[in-house]
Chains A and B, each alone.
Chain A
Amino acid sequence: MSAAARRAGAPRLLEALAPLRRRPSVLLAVTVVAGVTVLALLAPWVAPYDPAAAVGPTQAPSALFPLGTDGAGRDVLSRLLHGARISLAVAAVATLVAATLGTAVGAVAGYAGGRTDALLMRLVDALLALPRILVLIALFALWEGLPLPVLVLLLGAMAWFPLSRLVRAQVRAAASLEYVLAAQALGAGRARVVLRHVLPNVAGAVLVASTLVAGEVIVAEAGLSFFGVGVQPPDASWGSMLDDARGYGFAHWWTALPPGLALALTVMAINHLGDALRDALDPRQLPQP
């Protein structure tokens, strides 16, 4: 990205975000997300016990085990912390994959126009019609020994569709802006124009959409793990913790409550951030044609 374009894009983004600092709910959301991230990163050092080891009989929360132990005798708190690592890592990478794919496809479609555009959008429409969870479940069920990185890739691959439409719309709007036309008049090639001039403008919208995608992906991974096809033991994610709880008929409420609560709070915080971002950036980002 040229220095000038970056200079133009970044401060505009930052100044648009400034009013957000004042809203208490946004600050709360940021705190939650940051907090969870930090805990996840530090899990191996903060967790009191080995998440995979049985450390005592199944019991409700107590002084020794702040969140109790699950059906197999493992400490719930430690599992929760380690589970955060997996859940967040998966979500982050998958979101990145989705964002990249979505932006790429959307940019190509929006900029190329014509039949390429129509074809790509038809494709996206059809893909959107697929019940994503079903497809993922089937995929993962059939694929024995699915390595985690592949799981992440596939999650991301199924999440990029709405993003591509958004990017396409933005690209189309941006493509008619004056300085883009000016760049073209100067002889800049298509790729150059897209990368340097159009994309920086689109960044804001992509950011907002990515937060929403992140929320979806976390829930999707949890869902898949809950179904038994996502993260496999000995790794534990919040979703698989819930599946374990289900395996015991939900008899122990302290095994079901924490992972779900953690999921809910994290996703809520992310969603709220996405909402707030959207409110802050929406009309200001792209100048009206």
Chain B
Amino acid sequence: MAAVVTTLAFFLIQLAPGDPFVWILENPGIDATLRDRLRAQFGLDQPVAVQYVRYLANVARGDFGHSFAMSQPVATVIARALPNTLLLMGTALALSFVLGVGLGVVQAARPGSLPDRASRGLALAFYSVPDFWLAALLLIVFAGWLRWFPPGGDASLFAESLAPWRRALDRAHHLVLPALTLVLVTTAAVSRFQRAALLDTLAEDYVRTAIAKGLSRRAAVLRHALRNALLPVVTLLGLALPALLGGAVFVERVFAWPGMGSLLVNAVTQRDYFLLTGCVLVGSLTVVAGSLLADLLAIAADPRQRRS
């Protein structure tokens, strides 16, 4: 099943940018030898179908083609940028999960109360707001007016000369605003979902059984209800990964965080075919891998899904 999904996704990615578009080979940025090599290797003058096969074969060998914009092999460029994006996404995901679940629990504990409705309103606001605008706002307020955080990049200019742990701290300092943007939006989404899931489980009979056994309401909710309510949330995270990646890309653009987003910007302005395709491919694979992980987690956590 997993293999089928991966293959399908793989294939479809090729389908997308592979629509018959302008031939980037006419880009003056590459010299003749390179162009010839690429043409031969990727079969760029062959029918579209052949190209796909060639491309796949090349990718399997680790060759994503050559980036005109950056004058380097695409694989190298992506390999440098991907970890940055993963760092951003990973931090945001972890924090959002913890905060979102916590918030959802608090809201579900007293549905309809003032804290519930107020925080739900806030969550709706953050959920609806376009992430890049939120990023811009945060940038203006916290980096522009208050100057608490740096306006962009992932390291200060002088970072190279710092001791390792100071460098890490500097990096973290730069990470705060971009991560915060993503966290705010994702937490809102998670809490919405968690609240609904928890309200559903609270109505289940086994919560009543737990109380009848002598557990306090709080213990019953935390130990019994929550455990069940977390399951759909984990699944949700898997589904939300594509959106998170999209969000990360935008945020990177605003904060000039050197990840896939910035790569994408370059690729876009330069109409860099290989880089674009490479980005999309790698991005999709990352997302698929992430969802698979989430699926596995969900199966592990729910005994009803395991096949004994």
Question: Does chain A touch chain B in the assembled complex, meaning CB atoms less than 8 Å apart?
Answer: yes
* Known A228-B269, A260-B136, A268-B125; contact A126-B245, beta-carbon cutoff 8 A: no
Report the stretch among B107-115, B199-207, B223-231, B272-280 that lies at the interface. Answer: B272-280
Report the stretch among B17-25, B53-61, B97-105 that lies at the interface. Answer: B17-25
| B140/A132 in contact, CB under 8 A | no
User: Chain B residue with minimal CB distance to A123?
Assistant: B8
Complex CA distance for A125 and B21, rounded to whole angstroms: 27
User: Chain A residue with minimal CB distance to B24?
Assistant: A142
Is there a chain A Cβ closer than 8 Å to B293's Cβ?
no
Q: B233-269 interface mask toward A, CB cutoff 8 Å, 1 = contact, 0 = none?
A: 0000001011101100110011000000000110111
Complex CA distance for A130 and B132, rounded to whole angstroms: 20
Complex CA distance for A259 and B132, rounded to whole angstroms: 12
Instruction: Report how many A-B pairs have Cβ atoms within 8 Å.
Output: 157
Which residues of chain A from 81 to 103 have a CB within 8 Å of any chain B CB? none
| B136/A250 in contact, CB under 8 A | yes
Complex CA distance for A260 and B280, rounded to whole angstroms: 27
- Partner of B133 from A132, A227, A263 at Cβ < 8 Å: A263
* Residue of A126, A129, A130, A135 with most partner-chain B CB within 10 A: A129
User: Chain B residue with minimal CB distance to A25?
Assistant: B121
**Chain A residues with CB under 8 A of B253:** 226-227, 246
Q: Is chain A's interface secondary structure helix, strand, loop, or mixed overall?
A: helix
Q: A242-268 interface mask toward B, CB cutoff 8 Å, 1 = contact, 0 = none?
A: 100110001001001101100110011
How many residues belonging to A are interface residues under a CB distance threshold of 8 Å? Answer: 46
- Partner of B136 from A137, A141, A256, A270 at Cβ < 8 Å: A256
Is there a chain A Cβ closer than 8 Å to B271's Cβ?
yes
Is there a chain A Cβ closer than 8 Å to B179's Cβ?
no
Which residues of chain B from 171 to 196 have a CB within 8 Å of any chain A CB? none
| B280/A250 in contact, CB under 8 A | no
| B17/A129 in contact, CB under 8 A | no
| A133/B246 in contact, CB under 8 A | yes
| A256/B137 in contact, CB under 8 A | yes
| B242/A242 in contact, CB under 8 A | no
Complex CA distance for A275 and B269, rounded to whole angstroms: 39
Least Cβ distance of B17 to chain A in Å?
5
| B284/A223 in contact, CB under 8 A | no
Complex CA distance for A271 and B134, rounded to whole angstroms: 17
Is there a chain A Cβ closer than 8 Å to B62's Cβ?
no
* Residue of B4, B16, B267, B273 with most partner-chain A CB within 10 A: B16
* Known A142-B273, A260-B137; contact A267-B284, beta-carbon cutoff 8 A: no
Complex CA distance for A238 and B19, rounded to whole angstroms: 28
| B130/A267 in contact, CB under 8 A | yes
Is there a chain A Cβ closer than 8 Å to B221's Cβ?
no
Least Cβ distance of B279 to chain A in Å?
7
| A272/B16 in contact, CB under 8 A | no
User: Chain B residue with minimal CB distance to A263?
Assistant: B130
Which residues of chain A from 121 to 167 have a CB within 8 Å of any chain B CB? 122-123, 125-135, 137-139, 141-144
Is there a chain B Cβ closer than 8 Å to A106's Cβ?
no
Complex CA distance for A173 and B225, rounded to whole angstroms: 28
* Known A126-B9, A130-B242, A134-B249; contact A264-B128, beta-carbon cutoff 8 A: yes
- Partner of B246 from A131, A222, A246 at Cβ < 8 Å: A131
Complex CA distance for A274 and B45, rounded to whole angstroms: 49
Least Cβ distance of A41 to chain B in Å?
23
Is there a chain B Cβ closer than 8 Å to A215's Cβ?
yes
Please provide the 3 A-B residue pairs with the shortest distance between their CB atoms, ordered closest to farther. Answer: A133-B246, A260-B133, A126-B8
Provide 12 A-B residue pairs closer than 8 Å at the C-beta atoms, listed in order of the A residue.
A131-B287, A137-B249, A137-B276, A139-B17, A142-B21, A219-B130, A239-B130, A242-B132, A250-B139, A256-B140, A263-B130, A264-B129
Interface residues of B (CB under 8 A from A): 4-5, 8-9, 12-13, 16-17, 19, 21-22, 24, 124-125, 127-130, 132-134, 136-137, 139-140, 144, 239, 241-243, 245-246, 249-250, 253-254, 264-265, 267-269, 271, 273, 276-277, 279-280, 283-284, 287-288, 291
